Structure 1
């Protein structure tokens, strides 16, 4: 069985989608380790409930415990913990840090990321909010979500799964976020399966 390490920062609803899929034929792999950048991330509870080992590596805590250390050294520490989990695949599922080359160069297995936008549109943080705002100004007709390979350029890696999501006239940002999250729960499983089969 292929080993999957998942990096999270928040509620872990996409992690839950992967956990559920790993207990069925939909995902040919097992989540064997979850690393969070926040100690209060609910995803840690989801992982514990599923019997998956977890670890926390928070940037602020790391820098406090290691005076004079840098963000690059933090990324190297995250990479070390990830590689110690012996993954066949690393999935960024709501991981809220942009990873530096220090991390990417140390990981010798595929890394995929879930991003709530279409390729080339709204790279980086707050993608859903920016798409919603652009729709309000008549600049875009819709948005989407994708799973892509992670490269040094933020959200610019090869897309593995892309889904368009209509923005409905009159809907709230929260309603759009809910619909995009539903799509994310499907495509993160599909993207992980494609990456494991490659």
Structure 2
């Protein structure tokens, strides 16, 4: 791990468009985060987040699962190799920002308290995929009045790790799903930068080893 006086080294795991990655890149660029995205890793070759990283001059890596399943290798094999790729960039913090694969303990245990995930729901609600759609349906059925997003430390149980930060996102009476989705995405970007800053602040307060 790098010295706490130097910018923290972030490795970001993505699977898609990379708008949350872009929020981190912008925050690092304008120095609102004392951090540097040193690598972006995707499990999908066509993820636009890889283009965003390349445009920012950030190294990228593509690590697909299919060759492993096709050859009879396990998810643990895949995650062991993923951990080796990530470790090669000497990260202080690994950020899952739209990484659409469940990580196994093989990967999680390697990085312990420096692996976080952005999830578009509040703690204990709507774990797993399609959380925004499920929250909107629950709102329509009168089960909830608002939703939100959280950044949590990754544990083997999906979206169940200790919460680093969270944000409440209102659902308005006239909202269609697209309206709510867009509001969620705006708040997700705000939250992710804020949560990484919180992690950096807490890291800086630790006694020197």
- Measure the CA separation in 2 of the matches of 1:165 and 1:20: 23
8 Å contact from structure 1 (residues 87, 109) kept in 2:
no
- Measure the CA separation in 1 of the matches of 2:45 and 2:113: 26
Corresponding residue number in structure 2 for 1:23: 29
The answer to whether structure 1 residue 13 and structure 2 residue 15 are counterparts is no
> C-alpha offsets along residues 119-140 of structure 1, whole Å, 9 cap, x if unaligned?
1111111100100111111111
Q: Which runs of 5+ in 2 are unaligned?
A: 1-6, 203-209
> C-alpha offsets along residues 104-128 of structure 1, whole Å, 9 cap, x if unaligned?
1122550111110011111111100
The answer to whether structure 1 residue 3 and structure 2 residue 33 are counterparts is no
- Spell out the pairing of 1:98-177 with structure 2 (5 A cutoff): 98-107=102-111, 110-177=114-181
Corresponding residue number in structure 2 for 1:91: 95
Corresponding residue number in structure 1 for 2:43: 37
- For normalisation by structure 1, the TM-score amounts to 0.95
Number of equivalences = 196
1:3 counterpart SS class:
strand
- Measure the CA separation in 2 of the matches of 1:68 and 1:59: 11
Q: CA RMSD in A?
A: 1.2
Measure how far apart 1:25 and its partner are: 2.7
8 Å contact from structure 1 (residues 88, 196) kept in 2:
no
1:107 counterpart SS class:
helix
> C-alpha offsets along residues 133-155 of structure 1, whole Å, 9 cap, x if unaligned?
11111111110011111122211
> C-alpha offsets along residues 4-46 of structure 1, whole Å, 9 cap, x if unaligned?
0000000000000000000123111100000001000000000
Measure how far apart 1:73 and its partner are: 0.9
- For normalisation by structure 2, the TM-score amounts to 0.90
Measure how far apart 1:62 and its partner are: 3.7
